[in-house]
Amino acid sequence: MTGFIFRPSLLENRTRAMEILEAAGFRWFANYSSIDLDHTDNFMEVCGIQDYETAQAIGRVIHKSFAGCRCSVWYKDYGREQAWQVDVYLP
């Protein structure tokens, strides 16, 4: 069994992503509900996006701002928060 991996740089990337989204006109709680982190797989999830067009736009802004990242947009149709999500896989 593998132990928990903690990546301090992921916390910095989350803060940077929030600043980038704010500068692009996307507001926390208005356009997305959170940016969740997965330290083990080194990725962020921009969650709680209510429409596809906004999710696509957020994906484009993040992809342009984080060199070498891969982004995917998908609809989370289970759990408490059913909404669009952008997964950001960092290099």
**What pLDDT score was predicted for residue 91?**
87
Q: What is the pLDDT of residues 3-56, one digit of tens each?
A: 788 899 999 999 999 999 999 999 999 999 999 999 988 999 999 999 999 999
83: helix, strand or coil: strand
CB 5 within 8 A of CB 41: no
Q: What pLDDT is attached to residue 81?
A: 80
Tell me which H or E stretch contains 72: strand 70-76
CB 42 within 8 A of CB 10: yes
Instruction: Give the three-state DSSP class for 65.
Output: helix
Q: Where are the domains of the chain?
A: 28-89
> What is the SS3 string spanning 3-48?
CCCCCHHHHHHHHHHHHHHHHCCCCECCCECEEEEECCCCEEEEEE
Where residue 2 falls among pLDDT bands split at 50, 70, 90? Answer: low
